[in-house]
């Protein structure tokens, strides 16, 4: 690895690479009459792990492919490290991409697969012909360097013993590593990953999740990771972009996405079990009426405005000594996950049963069919207006301002 060897401080974990700042300006794309991306703007810091999370068909893969240069946007521009790359071919953008299907070359060995990006960039057409290295000592030298680099990457990914195999002889996890190796070998400014774990079984997915996060820390390069799996997004990312119907709804760290969603759709999409949503109405006195109970929440909206009041399962609790607003429901389903017990209570006036997290260690676990009282702690409620936008409560508003500053 001539030159490249010295240029791998990131791989050695010495210094955080300052390359790989990606900036998207008002990217729009439509396929025929259907708009897929609408005015997406995003700034990704060098070395950041950014996950684009959304349901299938939300445009997240299209956005990634536009960054890669595999798709051309209708409007807007992509810059990497301050330079617009819109006119550049994928390879010239110095990015790497890991595909959902891995897209390994089936006729080449693992070593050849990993070495291919370097062969294509460092050897010309004639030097790449079979046997060319026997004719020219210079070519031989470069070929040896390329192989050396490929072996080094294989060492990092612990797949050295697989180098002579063909892709069809590999398991899903091994193919995944080879695909990562092929991406790593050319030391790209940005790694783009399109649902790289979705073809693996559940156990391996959890394992590879940790491994990719580790790899990111080691390489300290920008990762842009597309997934529909909220667990992947929550566990690996520095920041998450939640996308729906071609719109970026919220860009924030995982904790903020989960605890402080700016949109009801974000709140519903992230979190398992799904967040509970109750119909509410702003009252004249400044509170919110939820199914007859009054929550002392200062929404600052005109009286009579319909709102949605949402609460995570762990924000709700069974009320033993009813104090404050409460809902009564019948237990229709109980899920015991060992660490958590999720009680599903059907409440009149709410379409879906409320899900309440309950500690299985508590002795007084209710039974199926019991009538239970559910306490609604006002402090842990999230309020959204009729468009699904988060309503800043007056008490919270100051805190939110502080957080944004």
Partner 1 sequence: MPDSGALPAAAAVRTRPRHRRHGAVAAVLAGPALALILLFLIAPLACVALLSLTDYQLGAATLNFVGGKNYAEMFSDRVFQKSLTNTLIYVAITVPGSVLLGLGAALLIEADKSLRTFYRAIYFLPVMATLIAMSIVWEFMLHPQFGVVNQVVKVLGFARIDWLQNQSIVLFTLCGIGIWQSLGFNMVLFMAGLTSIPNDLYEAAAVDGADLAIDRFRLVTWPMLGPVTLFVIVISAIRSFQVFDTVQVLTKGGPNKASEVLLYTMYSEGFEFFRSGYASAVTMVFLLFVLGLSAFKVFILDKRVHYT
- 151/160 Cα distance (integer angstroms): 7
Contacts with partner 1, 54-93, as mask; x by CB under 8 A: -----------x--xxx------------------xxx--
Query: Is 121 one of the binding residues for partner 1 (CB under 8 A)?
Result: yes
Q: Which residues contact 42 (CB under 8 A, 6 or more apart)?
A: 22, 23, 24, 50, 241, 248, 251
Q: Which stretch binds partner 1 (CB under 8 A): 13-21, 104-112, 151-159, 283-291?
A: 104-112
Q: How far is the CB of 238 from partner 1 (least distance, A)?
A: 24
Confirm if 267 and 380 have CB atoms less than 8 A apart: no
Q: Which stretch binds partner 1 (CB under 8 A): 9-17, 105-113, 223-231, 389-397?
A: 105-113
Q: Residue 277's beta-bridge partner residues? A: 310
Buried b (16+ CB within 10 A) or exposed e, 243-255: bbebbbbbbbebe
Q: Which stretch binds partner 1 (CB under 8 A): 51-59, 73-81, 119-127, 153-161?
A: 119-127
Task: Assign 179 to helix, strand or coil.
Answer: helix
Closer CB to partner 1, residue 181 or residue 298?
A: 181
Q: How far is the CB of 375 from partner 1 (least distance, A)?
A: 52
How many chain residues bind partner 1 (CB under 8 A)? 27
Residue from the set 27, 36, 66, 95 that interacts with partner 1 by CB under 8 A:
95
- 223/213 Cα distance (integer angstroms): 10
Query: Is 182 one of the binding residues for partner 1 (CB under 8 A)?
Result: yes
Query: Is 99 one of the binding residues for partner 1 (CB under 8 A)?
Result: yes
Closer CB to partner 1, residue 90 or residue 172?
A: 90
- 276/352 Cα distance (integer angstroms): 8
Q: How far is the CB of 221 from partner 1 (least distance, A)?
A: 15
Binders of partner 1 in range 150-179 (CB under 8 A): 166, 168
Closer CB to partner 1, residue 7 or residue 349?
A: 7
Task: Assign 1 to helix, strand or coil.
Answer: coil
Binders of partner 1 in range 334-373 (CB under 8 A): none
Give Cα separations from 246 to 51, 242, 264, 386 (angstroms): 15, 10, 16, 21
Could you tell me the sign of the dihedral formed by the alpha carbons of 7, 78, 405, 256, in that order? negative
Q: How far is the CB of 87 from partner 1 (least distance, A)?
A: 14
Which runs of E-coded beta strand occur in 54-116? 75-80, 83-84, 95-98
Confirm if 239 and 209 have CB atoms less than 8 A apart: no
Task: By CB under 8 A, name the binding residues for partner 1.
Answer: 65, 68-70, 89-91, 95-97, 99-101, 103-108, 116-117, 120-121, 125, 166, 168, 182
């Amino acid at each position: 690895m001539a030159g490249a060897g010295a240029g791998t401080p990131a791989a050695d974990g010495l210094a955080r690479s300052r390359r790989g700042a990606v900036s998207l300006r008002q990217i729009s794309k439509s396929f025929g009459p259907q708009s897929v991306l609408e005015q997406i703007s995003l700034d990704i810091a060098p070395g950041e792990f950014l996950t684009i999370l959304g349901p299938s068909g939300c445009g997240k893969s299209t956005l990634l492919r536009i960054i890669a240069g595999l798709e051309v946007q209708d409007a807007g521009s992509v810059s990497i490290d301050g330079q617009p790359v819109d006119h550049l071919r994928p390879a010239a953008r110095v990015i790497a991409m890991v595909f959902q299907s891995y897209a390994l070359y089936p006729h080449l060995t693992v070593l050849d697969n990993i070495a291919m990006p370097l062969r294509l960039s460092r050897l010309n057409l004639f030097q790449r012909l079979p046997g060319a290295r026997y004719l020219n000592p210079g070519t031989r030298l470069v070929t040896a360097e390329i192989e050396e680099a490929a072996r080094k990457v294989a060492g990092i990914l612990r797949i050295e013993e697989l180098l002579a195999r063909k892709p069809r002889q590999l398991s899903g996890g091994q193919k995944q590593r080879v695909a990562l190796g092929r991406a790593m070998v050319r030391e790209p400014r940005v790694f783009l990953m399109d649902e790289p774990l979705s073809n693996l079984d559940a156990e391996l997915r959890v394992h590879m999740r940790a491994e990719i996060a580790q790899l990111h820390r080691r390489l300290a390069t920008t990762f842009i990771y597309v997934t529909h799996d909220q667990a992947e997004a929550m566990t690996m990312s520095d920041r998450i972009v939640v996308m729906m119907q071609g719109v970026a709804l919220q860009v924030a760290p995982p904790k903020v996405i989960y605890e402080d969603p700016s949109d009801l759709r974000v709140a519903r999409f992230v979190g398992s079990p799904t967040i509970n949503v109750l119909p509410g109405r702003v009252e004249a006195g400044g509170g919110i009426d939820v199914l007859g109970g009054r929550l002392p929440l200062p929404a600052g909206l005109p009286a009579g405005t319909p709102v949605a009041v949402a609460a995570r399962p762990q924000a709700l609790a069974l009320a033993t000594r009813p104090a404050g607003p409460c809902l009564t429901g019948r237990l229709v389903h109980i899920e015991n996950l060992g660490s958590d017990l999720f009680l599903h209570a059907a409440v009149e006036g709410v379409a879906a049963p409320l899900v309440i997290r309950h500690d299985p260690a508590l002795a007084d676990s209710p039974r199926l069919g019991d009538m239970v009282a559910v306490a609604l702690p006002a402090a842990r409620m999230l309020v959204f207006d009729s468009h699904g936008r988060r309503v800043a409560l007056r008490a919270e508003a100051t805190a939110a301002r502080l957080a944004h500053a």
